[in-house]
Amino acid sequence: MLRFENLCKRYGERIIFQGLRYSTGAGCVALNDETGSGKSTLLGILAGTIEADEGEVWLDGHSQRTAPLEAKSTVAYIPDDCMAYPLQTGREFLEQVASTRKTAVDSGTLDLAHRFGLTPHLEKRFEQMSFGTRKKMFLTAIALGKPTVIIADEPAGGLDAAARAVLIDWFNTLAEDRTVFFSSYDMALTQACNAKMIGFADLGMRVQ
């Protein structure tokens, strides 16, 4: 469901990474590497929010280069900061995501929001939310439509123990028939999600 070949990213003279390749089907994969190694950059490229300098990404068989709209429709992305429009409420955010995915905010989505403790926060604007609350909004939005590839940057960041338990259960459910690719330093989370742990060395990283 997720495949990338020969990915390269540069910022000026600095090569962040090059020659990255990987392929995975349904299940959880946890990317664990040192700070500053380019994890967030790689996840942004996979989600389509950052453009690679070289290489190609396929999401559920759709190339980001030749079929960008089809590829984008298959992915749900949870960035590290999870800041949508600052003045947008949680409910408006979910409705916007639902519209993009040609669906509606249904009872299943609202039930997941309730499990995450979000019901009292749905009418709050993103600028009023804590970091953890914003993260839970983005995690809840995965339930809208059926994205087949979930890309998440430190998904447990800012979550309390109760929300963390919901996250683990949610990721394990998603991994039954979808790809969940996330970055995390949290070994306990990786193990609880039955995730395969990889680093850049496993991706064939070559830096000059």
Q: What is the pLDDT of residues 123-172, one digit of tens each?
A: 999 999 999 999 999 999 999 999 999 999 999 999 999 999 999 999 99
3-class DSSP assignment, residue 188: helix
Average pLDDT over residues 76-102: 95
Topology annotation, domain 2-84+147-203: Rossmann fold (3.40.50)
Q: Are 147 and 96 in contact (CB under 8 A)?
A: no
Between 91 and 35, residue with greater pLDDT: 91
Predicted local distance difference test score (pLDDT) of residue 77: 97
pTM of the entire predicted model: 0.94
- Closest among 73, 18, 30, 56 to 179, alpha carbons compared: 30
